[in-house]
Amino acid sequence: MKLSALRGKAKRNTIEVEHIVAAAKARVPGLGEELRRLAEEHEWHAATRLPDGSHVVPLAKWAEIAGAYADGGVDSLCHLVASPGNANYIIGLLEEIATPDAVSALIGFFPEAMHEPASAPNTAWRLVEAYNRLLSFKGGPVLSDGQAATIRSFLVSCLAAATSETQRANVVYALRGVGDESSLTLLAAINDFAPPHDSARTMVMRVIRKRLLT
């Protein structure tokens, strides 16, 4: 998306998060500076709620994260990871970028959640969603054996830490992309879920077996 198109959408108040992320993904030259200017000019919000409690789209926060990536790539996000409240935005952006570097960043940026999901549950469950979307379908980034093992270990830890059937089912779905023989053994030992996830376990086992044969 061209900068002129972003300006026009901002002026008409029709700009959406998807437009900002798409421009960042394309690394449009000058995007970071332009997003900072637009955020100030149009008084975009960084929080999801105003003082009166009404909900708003945090375009200023997305502009900050997307602008940093547009300026300097994945490495430029490092200094933003530690800031409270940034994790979901960074994970969302990396999920859309969907490159091997993006996967490496997801693994490396959130060590607490990756090694001890229960210590950072919100981030951990957002990572489960991201890995499922990134790795369970055709066209996803190709992982190294080490990356796959790290994510697989994380997912197994999440399965143990899950507090609801939906969370457990989401972990099982995410295993499609990184599951191995040990995953098949694990899945064979658990019960099927109730609807709407009643076919998840057998479906994922079938996908893993097929992938291991190729």
CB 31 within 8 A of CB 59: no
Model's pTM, two decimal places?
Answer: 0.92
What's the rounded Cα separation, in Å, for the pair 54 and 56? 7
Burial of 50 (0-12, 13-18, 19+ CB in 10 A): exposed
Which tens digits make up the pLDDT trace of 116-174? 999 999 999 999 999 999 999 988 999 999 999 999 999 999 999 999 999 999 999 99
